[in-house]
Amino acid sequence: MRILLVDNADSFTRNLEHLLLATVSGADVGVIPYVGLAEADPADFDLVVISPGPGRPEDYPAYARVFEVGRPVLGVCLGMQIINQWRGGRTAMLPGCIHGRAEVIDWNGQRRQVARYHSLHVTEAGRGLAVLARNDAGVIMALGSRTHGLLGYQFHPESFMTPEGGIFVVHALDFLGLR
């Protein structure tokens, strides 16, 4: 499987690359910086992964081209917010920043520990996106659309504080119809 991982200048990007390589059998992961996105052809890949990163979703307008190609997209943290913004959803400041906190969320009928690092959060899901998980305070932790091939995680499956991060990658492959 060819995976394009777009790096939004985030220190977690290489951890995300390693998680993808460890979880997806036979994965060929190409990592490019966001500034190089204009030179890549998303149609050449089976999956596009949008990394975490600084700033707000509107700071990354080049992703419109990725979405228009129609390849499955997984977004992590800022990546989820970018997916949501593209579908017309809203993002706002989170009351109090969460940078490096393990938390247990409801996930497919189970309680799973995940890592949170974010100061923004989705306050309104975009067109056609279903909220798939929230934390106990009601903050959206995952959203997506099978129809549109989009999935976002607000938490970081690649963090050491998400002890079973591979489960979320496998879920993404299933959700996006890649397994």
The phi, psi pair for 59, rounded to 5°, reads: -80, -5
Residues 6+ apart with CB under 8 A from 26: 1
What is the model's pLDDT at position 146? Answer: 97
- Tens place of pLDDT for every residue, the chain, 179 residues? 999 999 999 999 999 999 999 999 999 999 999 999 999 999 999 999 999 999 999 999 999 999 999 999 999 999 999 999 999 999 999 998 999 999 999 998 999 999 999 999 999 999 999 999 999 999 999 999 999 999 999 999 999 999 999 999 999 999 999 99
Residues labelled catalytic: 77, 156, 158
Q: What is the pLDDT of residue 108?
A: 87
The CATH fold of domain 2-176? Rossmann fold (3.40.50)
Q: Is 140 exposed, middle or buried, given 0-12, 13-18 or 19+ CB atoms closer than 10 A?
A: buried
Distance (Å, rounded) from C-alpha 161 to C-alpha 29?
23
- Tell me the chain's radius of gyration from C-alpha atoms: 15
